[in-house]
């Protein structure tokens, strides 16, 4: 599975325009399993993702690189950018 990210304009996306979505701005490499939770803060340069309760990863959105990975059992995920 991949994580695809789009930048949405402040004016939003026109409803009922019928237009195809633009290509994603960033595609993060494949995750080992289905991504179930994604945490993002627009003031931060990273995103936190967990895959089917088995892994959690933090991604640097500027570099498009994984900066943290853990294969511990995930029961709850919370995110506060530094």
Sign of the CA dihedral with 22 first, then 28, 30, and 36 last: negative
Q: 3-5 and 26-28 as β-strands: parallel, antiparallel, unpaired?
A: antiparallel
Q: Which two tokens stand for residue 33?
A: 């399993």
Q: pLDDT tens digits for 13-64?
A: 777 766 666 788 888 876 667 777 778 777 778 777 777 657 778 888 888 8
Q: Which two tokens stand for residue 44?
A: 């931060």
pLDDT tier for residue 76 given thresholds of 50, 70 and 90: low
Q: Does the pLDDT value for residue 69 go beyond 80?
A: yes
Q: Which two tokens stand for residue 72?
A: 């511990």
């Amino acid at each position: 599975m991949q994580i695809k990210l789009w930048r949405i304009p402040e004016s939003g996306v026109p409803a009922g325009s019928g237009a195809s979505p633009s290509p994603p701005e960033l595609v993060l490499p494949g995750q080992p399993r289905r991504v179930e939770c994604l945490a993002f803060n627009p003031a931060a340069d990273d995103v936190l993702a967990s895959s089917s309760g088995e892994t959690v990863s933090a991604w640097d959105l500027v570099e498009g690189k994984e900066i943290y990975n853990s294969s511990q059992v995930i029961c709850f995920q919370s995110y506060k950018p530094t």
